[in-house]
Amino acid sequence: MAWRGQLSKNLKELRILLSPHSNSSAPLRAFVEKNYKELKTLNPKLPILIREATSVEPQIWARYDLGVEKGVHVEGFSEQQITNALQDLVKNGPSS
């Protein structure tokens, strides 16, 4: 899982949007609870923003150089699929 340490090399900001109570955000909430500490430890200067709002679809947004952003809607994803989506955002960048 070396890609986890490359977040700060490839991203300028990581935003996670989720609902604090909806079932559709449950896998993303579990992902954050299990992985936030490790991601932040490996990337201490990278802003990892977690935004909670009712009635929001679970999403992951990556901001790259020059303000380029790419987002993934992760509603219906398992925790493993969320991990894969984040890995794709890190490895493939804004062109994927």
The pLDDT value recorded for residue 96 is: 55
> Domain tally for the chain?
1
Give the model's pLDDT for residue 4.
Answer: 85
* Residue 1, domain member (yes or no): no
- 55, part of any domain: yes
Structure tokens at 36: 């936030």
- Condensed to tens digits (0 to 9), the pLDDT of residues 53-94 reads 998 999 999 999 998 999 999 999 999 999 999 999 998 877
β-bridge partners, 48:
14
From 56, 43, 53, select the one nearest 13 (Cα to Cα): 43
Confirm if 20 and 52 have CB atoms less than 8 A apart. Answer: yes
Domain span at residue 33 reads 6-92
Q: Is 30 part of any domain?
A: yes
Each residue's pLDDT tens digit, 5-39: 888 888 999 999 999 999 999 999 999 999 999 99
The length of the chain, given as a count of residues: 96
Residue 62 falls within a domain, yes or no?
A: yes
Instruction: Tell me if 82 is assigned to some domain.
Output: yes
In a domain, 69, yes or no: yes
Asked if 78 and 34 count as a contact pair (C-beta separation under 8 A), the reply is no
81 falls within a domain: yes
User: Mean pLDDT, to the nearest integer, of 36-52?
Assistant: 95
With respect to residue 77, please indicate whether it lies within any of the assigned structural domains.
yes
